[in-house]
Amino acid sequence: MGCRGRPGAGTIWKMTVLFLQLISSVQGKRHVVYWNSTNTRLSQGDFSVEVNPGDYLDIFCPHYPSGGPSSSPPETLALYLANEKQFQGCAGTHGALKRWECNRPFAPLGPVRFSEKIQRFTPFSTGYEFLSGHHYFYSSLSLDDGTQLPCMKLKVTVCCDANPAAPISTASAVRTPLSLLLLVPLFLHSSI
């Protein structure tokens, strides 16, 4: 029996859709970058992304179909979080933080994706903490056994807080409305 057979089922359906839309708007945006030599924005040196706290930076590694003909060797590289001076030169990595290695160009399930959550505090030992109003610089170099690649780099700017003088706890600010919204469908369901 479908939704039409039960009174109030349409209301519950509408509230569920509204709830899911609200949840998706609370989550951060995902900024996608395909990190390979065919992405000319990376090699021109002016590629910049502005993110907000809570957003994600998704970096997709170079990928090639397995068994397919290739006119050149596959790209393998290491991505670094560098300071501005290293970023401008795109040469050495002394002092830069190696974030990831793109060393599986024939991964069977598609390109390898690395995700960086832009957040002030991270619970992970390999995570990085990003400050609002600061710039962060990613660059890459070929792995020792890989093809020589052009200098590819990305500048990430973390947008400022709306009110830096009065910090609020985002966890409690988000938790209260969401918990109330969880009660709305239960209330509607019990009143039917």
CATH of the domain at 134: 2.60.40.420
**Is residue 188 included in any domain, yes or no?**
no
Out of 19-33, 38-52, 96-110, 140-154, which region has the weakest mean confidence (pLDDT)?
19-33
pLDDT tens across 5-28, in order? 566 666 776 676 655 555 544 578
Give pLDDT, residue 62: 95
How many domains, in total, are found in the chain?
Answer: 1
Q: Is the pLDDT assigned to residue 179 strictly greater than 80?
A: no
- Domain of residue 104, residue span: 27-162
**Is residue 177 included in any domain, yes or no?**
no
**Is residue 154 included in any domain, yes or no?**
yes
Burial 171-190 (b: 16+ CB within 10 A, else e): eeeeeeeeeeeeeebeeeee
The CA-based diameter of the chain, rounded to the nearest angstrom, is 68
* DSSP label at residue 140: E
**Is residue 15 included in any domain, yes or no?**
no
For residue 50, the number of C-alpha atoms closer than 13 Å in the C-beta half-sphere is 4
Q: At 82, is the pLDDT very low, low, confident or very high (cuts 50, 70, 90)?
A: confident
**Is residue 125 included in any domain, yes or no?**
yes
pLDDT tens across 89-122, in order? 676 677 788 999 999 999 999 999 999 999 988 7
Per-residue pLDDT, averaged over 21-36, amounts to 77
**Is residue 101 included in any domain, yes or no?**
yes
SS3 92: coil
In this predicted model, which residue has the larger pLDDT, 74 or 87? 74
**Is residue 111 included in any domain, yes or no?**
yes
Give pLDDT, residue 84: 83
Residue with tokens 């938790």: 175
**Is residue 156 included in any domain, yes or no?**
yes
Burial 45-61 (b: 16+ CB within 10 A, else e): bebebebebebbbebbb
